[in-house]
Amino acid sequence: MTLYEKIIKIYSALEGKDLYSVGIILQNDSDGKGDYIREWNHASLAKPTQSELDAVKE
């Protein structure tokens, strides 16, 4: 499950949204370390913690 998919699981209101347009920047530097949250500037939703992301199941 990708980082994007985990975030959508936590915040279903973001489904179908363009994350960049709502202040969320996910990034992957193609260095084998995978996706990460580079910036989280959403007006109302808090940045999910790592434990919240880890808890998301398929």
Partner 1 sequence: MAYIGPSIETGFRQRFVYTATAGQTSFSGNDSVGISLTYTDSEYLDVYQNGVLLVPGSDYAATTGTTVVLVTGASLNDKVEMIAYQAFGVADTVSRADGGAFGGAVSVAGDITSSGTFLATGDTAAGDDAAMGFTSAEGLILTGQGSTNDVTIKNDADTAVIQIPTGGTAVSVAGILTAGAGSIGMGPAFAASAASGQSAPSNNTFTKVVFGTETFDTDGKFATNRFTPTVIGYYQINGGVSYANANYTAQGAIIAIYKNGGSILAQATTVGGFEARHGLHVSGLVYLDADDYVELFIYGPNQALDAGTETFFNGAMVRKA
Of 23, 29, 46, 55, the one binding partner 1 by CB under 8 A = 29
Residue 46 to residue 30: CA distance in whole angstroms:
26
Of 23, 38, 49, 55, the one binding partner 1 by CB under 8 A = 38
Q: Phi, psi (5° rounding) for residue 33?
A: -95, -5
Residue 49 to residue 30: CA distance in whole angstroms:
23
Asked if 27 interacts with partner 1 (CB under 8 A), we say: yes
Nearer to partner 1, 21 or 44 (CB): 21
Contact positions vs partner 1 (CB under 8 A): 2-5, 18-21, 25-31, 35, 38
